[in-house]
Amino acid sequence: TRGGTRGGVQGRGAREGEPPVCAWRVSVDGVGRERKQYLIGDMFTVLNTDRDVLSHRNAFCTLGWTFEDIYPGDEWNFVFGQARLIEQIGVFSFARFDPRFYESISDEKSIIPALVRRSIKTMAHEICHMFGIRHCIHFNCLMNGSNHLEESDTRAGDLCPVCLTKLQSTLGFDPIERYKALLTALQTITSQLPDTPTSHTHTQHT
């Protein structure tokens, strides 16, 4: 995922840290298993206050990620991710992008392409939020909002001309060089994925 976002947002690196301690509640996944679901607001607090995180915060924005399910408040079932534009911090979860969240799958290799594709799109989406880009209503675009997995899966993997112009005006990159970097990053990622024709698409309404 870091390779995919580095190709799309040039010149910005990534660091990995330890998971924070957050409030949580019990949720049930698509096959009836109980699992912890963590409060995203506590993750934002860690990103803004934790000394270890702040000691490495030499970037324009900071993104946290987790393999656990997340939610922003009691009135919400879940979110795939969320960002705070002013504070330039964001969090996203791999949990609901894993086909095993919705059904029992014995062949773990078959889930990797879908998990990687969905995660890169959401990570890039949240990072673009942190660069000041809001949800897009103009075209099928990476910055379209999504309320369930089907919407997320049908969302484009890159920015539309309107949102690309916004990002370019913020970062000042050469669009052609950006697309070259994206191509290289995606070719590298694709070469590392298992060769499987299996496709997992599920709808999870909120």
Q: What is the pLDDT of residues 175-201, one digit of tens each?
A: 999 999 999 998 998 888 876 544 444
What burial letters (b/e) apply to 98-116, b meaning 16+ CB within 10 Å? bbbbbeebeeeebbbbbbb
Pairing of strands 62-66, 89-93: parallel
Q: What is the pLDDT of residue 70?
A: 92
Residue 126 annotated in active site? yes
Nearest CA to 197 out of 114, 140, 131, 136 is that of 114
What is the CB-side half-sphere exposure of residue 83 using CA atoms within 13 A?
A: 24
Catalytic residue among 18, 75, 126, 150: 126
Residues 77/104, Cβ–Cβ less than 8 Å? no
Q: What is the pLDDT of residue 202?
A: 45
Look at the pTM and tell me if it is higher than 0.85.
no
Which residues contact residue 123 at a Cβ distance below 8 angstroms, ignoring those fewer than 6 apart? 1, 4, 5, 63, 65, 81, 92
Nearest CA to 97 out of 83, 84, 75, 78 is that of 78
Q: What is the pLDDT of residue 196?
A: 52
Q: How far apart are CA 24 and CA 71, in angstroms?
A: 9
Q: How far apart are CA 63 and CA 6, in angstroms?
A: 13
Q: What is the pLDDT of residues 39-53, one digit of tens each?
A: 999 989 888 887 766
Which residues contact residue 197 at a Cβ distance below 8 angstroms, ignoring those fewer than 6 apart? none
Q: What is the pLDDT of residues 122-154, one digit of tens each?
A: 889 999 998 989 999 999 999 999 888 888 899
